[in-house]
Structure 1
Amino acid sequence: MVSVTRRTGARGKDRRLAVEDKLQQAMERLLEQGHSFTQVSVEQLAAEADIARATFYLHFRDKGELVARLMARVTEEVVGATRAASPQTRSRSELRRMIKAVVDVYRRHYAVMAAIVETAAYDAQVEQLFRQMMDTLIGVNRRLQQQMKQAGQPRTPPLVADVVTWAFERSCHQLVRNRKPAQVNALVDALTHVVWNAMYVPQDGGDAD
Structure 2
Amino acid sequence: MASTTQPRSKVRERREDVRRRVLRTAAEMMADGTPYTELPVQRIAERAQVARSTFYLHFPDKSRLLIALADEAVEALFGEAVVWWRADHADGVDGVAHAMRQMIAAYREHRRVLHALGEVAGYDPDVAEFWRDRMRRFTEVVQARLDAELRAGTVDPEMDVRTTAQVLIWTVERTISAHCHHDEGTGDERIARTLARSIWLTVYGIPPGPPRAAPRREPGLRGP
TM-score (norm 2): 0.72
Determine the structure 1 residue equivalent to 2:200. Answer: 196
Aligned sequence identity (%) = 21
C-alpha separation in 2, matches of 1:22 and 1:129: 23
CA RMSD of aligned residues (A): 3.1
Deviations 1:42-69 (A, max 9, x none): 2222334x33135534543333322222
C-alpha separation in 2, matches of 1:198 and 1:32: 37
Determine the structure 2 residue equivalent to 1:85. Answer: 85
Determine the structure 2 residue equivalent to 1:118. Answer: 119
Which of 167, 173, 190 in structure 1 is aligned with 2:171?
Answer: 167
Q: How many aligned positions are there?
A: 198
Higher mean C-alpha displacement, 101-110 vs 126-135: 126-135
Q: Which has the larger radius of gyration?
A: 2
Is the contact between residue 85 and residue 141 of structure 2 (CA under 8 Å) also seen in structure 1?
no
C-alpha separation in 1, matches of 2:35 and 2:189: 30
Which of 154, 169, 183 in structure 1 is aligned with 2:187?
Answer: 183
C-alpha separation in 2, matches of 1:142 and 1:60: 34
Determine the structure 2 residue equivalent to 1:51. Answer: 49
- Aligned-pair distance for 1:41? 2.5
TM-score (norm 1): 0.77
Determine the structure 2 residue equivalent to 1:4. Answer: none
C-alpha separation in 1, matches of 2:14 and 2:33: 31
Deviations 1:19-51 (A, max 9, x none): 555444433443455544344232222334x33
Determine the structure 2 residue equivalent to 1:148. Answer: 149
Higher mean C-alpha displacement, 160-169 vs 134-143: 134-143
Where do 5+ consecutive residues of structure 1 fail to align? 1-6
Matched to 2:117, the amino acid is: I
Determine the structure 2 residue equivalent to 1:3. Answer: none
- Aligned-pair distance for 1:164? 0.8
C-alpha separation in 1, matches of 2:8 and 2:209: 50
Determine the structure 1 residue equivalent to 2:133. Answer: 132
Q: How does 1:92-103 map to 2 (within 5 A)?
A: 92-103=93-104
- Aligned-pair distance for 1:170? 0.8
Which of 157, 161, 164 in structure 1 is aligned with 2:160?
Answer: 157
C-alpha separation in 1, matches of 2:154 and 2:182: 38
Matched to 1:191, the amino acid is: L
Judging changes above 3 Å, is the alpha-carbon distance between structure 1 residues 208 and 42 closer, same or farther for their aligned structure 2 residues?
farther
Judging changes above 3 Å, is the alpha-carbon distance between structure 1 residues 123 and 103 closer, same or farther for their aligned structure 2 residues?
same
